[in-house]
Amino acid sequence: MRPRLGISISSDAVRGLLVRSGRVAWHARISIEGEPAGAVLERLLSDVPSKFAGRGAVRVTLGVAHSHVKRLEGLPRTRHPRLLARVVRENADAFFPRLGVRTLVTDVDRRLDGSIWAAALDGALVDEVIGVLRRRRLTTDGVMPFAAAVAHVVRAGVWCVSDAGIELELSTLPSGAIGACRRGHSGSPAARNAAPPVSALRSLGSVAPEFIGAYGAAIAPARAPFTWRPARDPVRARALDVARGAAASLLFIAATGAALFARGIHAARITAAATDELSAIRDSQVAAARVDAELRRATTDLDRIRQFDAARGRLTLLLGALSEALPDSTALVSLRVDTLEGSLVALAPRAAAVLPPLFDLTGVIAPRIVGSVTREVQGGARVERASIRFRRVTAGQARRSSSPRTEVR
């Protein structure tokens, strides 16, 4: 099993713990006395035994002064954790107290009970730590808060742990998840329930409680919640891209050489066979084009027949509707209709009585009397002759009409 190096950075000191096969192989503590945390971390990494340096993964935990874990409220209801994480990151100051000049928020942890948890870290301190580890060419598994690291060490219950003089009330669930987390005080019940000693740390003696955060970071699983994982190292990514480019170039040169110097007999045979197949397909294409042209002509003729039949049916219906709409004792002398308008000549006792029923006739628009109304004697009766002109309802107007009456075509 590869060794794992856990590092705990608190406000008072930087602690390191090397775990191999579940046992502590090395530990160290360097106080922070006005120095930057990155410089102190450099000194601590220099003391790591050479036979373990660079062979294992490094996990860092930030103390209570530089991290915060809490349950989030007021988030939108969505099943997409990435969307929730984005909302929390863009509004970090609304959910967490400001930690340093920049607050860095981890991915959200959405649990089965519907609660949403997240952690905040001191962004400037995280950047400083990642820079030191990359200069040392150490593999970084991530950065996590102190509370999350301790949750992987203690059993389920309510405990009080101390970090750099700051007491933390921590409630852990049987699944290893955090149930509650807040800074405690001396009179709280959790303050009287100190975290039990860790058997793997008994060899450290009285300083064992100080290394609980570093030990929790070292033994935490790879996919532990509340863990911030840095992006790829630009230097390593660039070197990897160069190596991939060189490999691709070599493969291209090899493939080009094989294509230039390989025998072409097989390619010639394939070309001849393809030519024969294309000739057969070309004949089929000519026949298909001929059939397609014939089908297009037949479709055009059928469309003309359909239009003629539809127009004839609409004219018959219009004539029947006019017959029913005209008043009694009214004779229809002539009727002329086309696709847009029509006109009729009627004989009636009163020509003015012919016009109103036409307004209620579906399919007729704006009927009006044109010309003069003349009086005549037909069969011993006095009648009036009038010419009436109207417009017809087109197919497009009929489709847009919302009238509940039956359309006359």
CATH of the domain at 364: 3.30.1360
Question: Quick check: is 288 in a domain?
Answer: no
Residues 140, 12 share a domain? yes
Q: How far is CA 290 from the centre of its chain?
A: 49
> Which residue in this structure is represented by tokens 């911030």?
228
Q: Give whole-number Cα distances, 298 to 291, 293, 295, 302, in Å.
A: 11, 9, 5, 6
Residues 335, 225 share a domain? no
**Dihedral (Cα; 327, 331, 337, 341), 10-degree rounding:** -50
Chain segment 144-165, per-residue pLDDT in tens: 999 999 998 998 889 889 888 8
Residues 215, 337 share a domain? no
Residues 166, 57 share a domain? yes
Question: Quick check: is 247 in a domain?
Answer: no
Q: How far is CA 248 from the centre of its chain?
A: 33
Residues 73, 191 share a domain? yes
**Which residue, 231, 252, 276, sits at the end of a domain?**
231
**Which residue, 164, 198, 231, sits at the end of a domain?**
231
Domain region containing 168: 4-231
Q: Which residue type occupies 321? A: A
pLDDT band at 409 (very low <50, low <70, confident <90, very high): very low
What is the spatial distance between Cα 407 and Cα 409, in angstroms, rounded to a whole number? 6
Residues 223, 120 share a domain? yes
330: its two tokens: 């009214």
**Helix, strand, or coil (residue 404):** coil
Question: Quick check: is 33 in a domain?
Answer: yes
Instruction: Say if pTM beats, i.e. exceeds, 0.85.
Output: no
Chain segment 352-377, per-residue pLDDT in tens: 888 888 888 877 888 988 888 888 88
Mean pLDDT lowest for which of 121-125, 305-309, 311-315, 403-407?
403-407
**Helix, strand, or coil (residue 121):** strand
**Which residue, 231, 262, 277, sits at the end of a domain?**
231
Ramachandran bin of 331, using left for φ above 0, alpha for ψ from -120 to 50, beta for the remaining angles: beta
* Number of domains, the chain: 2
- Mean pLDDT score of the chain, rounded to an integer? 82
Check residues 180 and 279 and name the one with the higher pLDDT: 180
Residues 322, 223 share a domain? no
What is the spatial distance between Cα 170 and Cα 195, in angstroms, rounded to a whole number? 9
- Within 73-183, strands assigned E span 103-105, 109-110, 116-122, 139-145, 157-163, 166-172, 178-183
CATH of the domain at 123: 3.30.420.380
Question: Quick check: is 248 in a domain?
Answer: no
Q: What is the mean pLDDT of residues 67-95?
A: 85
**Helix, strand, or coil (residue 136):** coil
57: its two tokens: 């993964």
Give the per-residue pLDDT at 79.
Answer: 72
Question: Quick check: is 292 in a domain?
Answer: no
Chain segment 195-248, per-residue pLDDT in tens: 888 888 988 888 988 999 999 999 988 888 899 888 776 666 677 777 888 888
Residues 150, 11 share a domain? yes
What is the spatial distance between Cα 344 and Cα 335, in angstroms, rounded to a whole number? 4
Identify the sign of the CA torsion 320, 322, 325, 328: negative
CB 392 within 8 A of CB 341: yes
Q: Which of 220, 227, 251 is nearest to 109 (CA)?
A: 227
Question: How would you class 116 by CB atoms within 10 Å of its CB: exposed for 0-12, middle for 13-18, buried for 19 or more?
Answer: middle
Q: What is the mean pLDDT of residues 320-340?
A: 82
Question: Quick check: is 286 in a domain?
Answer: no
Question: How would you class 346 by CB atoms within 10 Å of its CB: exposed for 0-12, middle for 13-18, buried for 19 or more?
Answer: buried
Strand 57-62 relative to strand 139-145, pairing: parallel
Chain segment 252-272, per-residue pLDDT in tens: 777 777 666 666 677 778 888
Question: Quick check: is 332 in a domain?
Answer: yes
Question: Quick check: is 406 in a domain?
Answer: no
